[in-house]
A and B are shown apart, each in its own frame.
Chain A
């Protein structure tokens, strides 16, 4: 059974319907450590050694955050800046994260349609997530396609709970084992066959 660390960053969690639904479903699952970064570090003063210990104790890292200006909220970036240290996560002797798996779980306001070369956002979600992908690569982690909850403003409560249940399913799969080969050809982990078998 693999251990999952959910690094959740949301500066206004109390106002987010979508993330409240998602988080409520997964935060108490056994084998999942839900780590609320904005609650833990309201002053952005990240305890690097504590974070490293957490990373060491888990196999799968989920960056769970809203998609703000095509990226993550600032504390998440701060976390990446500070915790993924040279000489620890990358660089000479920087192999602490090798063999781990990593993915983004995001919520967006825009639909899949606007995230393409013809859409108003010009680029795909995967293209915007390249920095995360490469960060994972540099640290020797396997990077899986993102789990995305899109058009959140238009989602009804039942839509949201469907997404939340799917997130739970994903977590269950990840705990057993899920690799890039299961995701071949999919831009979003939402769509892989393993998640969609009845």
Chain B
């Protein structure tokens, strides 16, 4: 369309901002928003982006590399070693099974065996970008579903190396032509015998591990010492770039190398720093990647043979889903976890683009075959979030409401229903205390492992997103007396509060908040029962400090109670003060100003300005005064 980089950047950014915010407003995953943006700006709708979309795709794949680096950071080497069985077992089963079935499919469709084999390889791989992004977005990384998906994807990252090594053997063109086209993908080692290649790969992995310990960490320390923040960003990018470069050089997937690098650095003190530094890059690059996928959907190919493409697409997704379900079954995943796994990895992944164009370069695939497969790949990726939504909204809730064992409760508990949203550390304590009084709260949680455990313990638990009206309704919001929001996500609490206020105003809400700013918002939304987690625990600690310094405990106890009362009052006072709405940038400064105000007021209040009734000194003073008069 136009050569200007700036123009392209504007198109991409604008597309992302508009489509993703619309998707989020509709409660959809951001992936859908990006894909849609890609389709819109792509060559077949608005036509802002033409053929260069493919280059962008290639560039944006770097987002996947950064993402795997970040995932690696969260997995300590010990845990990684513990996962080896799941990686090999689940991954092997998934890739093997999918390849077999899709090979049969394509062979039956009359494709040449070589073509069928290459396509089945491409089909077996899933999209790390889409699956991991969704898993992270929903906070499901620590579930069995999360780790199973991750294991499978990791196995695919490894197996793709072998696939890339294997495909040239299928090439039946004469060597010259092949070598010529091949050179695009050439790397250092292709001219070397297989033994050396393996050796080089092992060496480079070892190199990453050693460099992580003895080169990268000392470098990061030096950089941190300078105190220049952007240097750390540069260093973080440098690490990821160098690892990717090295890996591409020896012919391994850069994503895999980046993952290894992440694992090596996961024990270092820079873990969180690196995470927060690279996170925005990852998100933007992945967004770009999804947009590029959307833009690469070739609608002409679809229009030419819609039935064929639709049929193959459905067949592939069904095969992948079936194998994933079987894999989940073999590894004894819970039904809901199994379904999540089935639906979130049922697409063809970004590696397919690489494999297919590689095979095309080797004349194994024809132009038509490649075009068709590329379209199917992009479509299957776009389909994933939609299938995910169907699963989440219509299938899981049905499983999530499986019957639970009823326990006898006394009449208070029976007659009044309590709903508890979130059973993490905070909600857990609430639930235990309620239960010790025979009050069985109905629990809503989105961690299905926890849900499963709680069901075993006899709790009435519903699995899923508590901001959905239908889930709240099936949990019995209509007859509830109180709903407790114990989740640490204020957004969730706010969403629930909106629903409850609107549809079930008789239900009393009790809400946990992290800090006073969340509390202000909720107060202004008309909620009175707000529990700041940062208030009472810290005062208890402070009380113990003062007690060790010689203050009397009872006085301190009363001071704490007074402080809480005073703080709650000032909270309500300040909440009603007019504010410049949501002025994000000034928030930090305002926070400091308020702290200062509080500290001054506290100081003025003095230590013991009350309890004069127990203070004979006070009485003596007054009596002396009256005598003088």
Contacts and interface: CB of A to CB of B under 8 A. Distances in A.
Interface in B552-576: 558, 561-562, 565
Contact of B622 (A45, A81, A84, A92): A92
A86 B619 contact: yes
B626 interface: yes
Q: Give the most central of B610, B614, B622: most A CB within 10 Å.
A: B622
A92 B626 contact: yes
Contacts of B619: 86, 91
A86 B561 contact: no
A91 B611 CA distance: 17
Given A43-B561, A45-B561, A86 B626 contact: no
A144 to B, nearest CB: 25
B558 A45 contact: yes
A85 B615 CA distance: 11
Give 6 closest A-B pairs by Cβ, nearest first.
A45-B561, A92-B626, A86-B619, A82-B613, A85-B613, A81-B613
Contacts of A74: none
A86 B612 contact: yes
A136 to B, nearest CB: 17
B618 interface: yes
A87 B558 contact: no
Given A81-B614, A82-B613, A87 B622 contact: yes
Contacts of B565: 45
Nearest to B615: A86
Contacts, number: 25
A87 B618 CA distance: 11
Interface size class of B (residues with CB under 8 A): 10 to 19
A82 B618 CA distance: 14
Interface in B61-111: none
Interface string A90-108: 0110000000000000000
B415 to A, nearest CB: 16
Interface string A69-85: 00000000000011011
Contact of B612 (A45, A84, A85): A85
A84 B562 CA distance: 19
Contacts of A85: 612-613
B439 to A, nearest CB: 15
A47 B82 CA distance: 58
Contacts of A43: 561
Contacts of B623: 91-92
Given A91-B622, A92-B626, A86 B562 contact: no
Interface in A36-72: 43, 45, 48
A158 B219 CA distance: 87
Contacts of B561: 43, 45
A45 B558 CA distance: 7
Nearest to B614: A81
Interface string B607-629: 00011111000110011001000
A129 B125 CA distance: 87
Interface string B394-433: 0000000000000000000000000000000000000000
Interface in B184-217: none
Contacts of A81: 613-614
A48 B562 CA distance: 12
17 contacts: A45-B561, A45-B562, A81-B613, A81-B614, A82-B611, A82-B613, A84-B613, A85-B613, A86-B612, A86-B613, A86-B618, A87-B622, A91-B619, A91-B622, A92-B622, A92-B623, A92-B626
Contacts of A91: 619, 622-623
Contacts of B622: 86-87, 91-92
Contacts of B614: 81
A84 B612 CA distance: 11
Given A45-B565, A91-B623, 8 more contacts: A43-B561, A81-B613, A86-B619, A86-B622, A87-B622, A91-B622, A92-B622, A92-B623
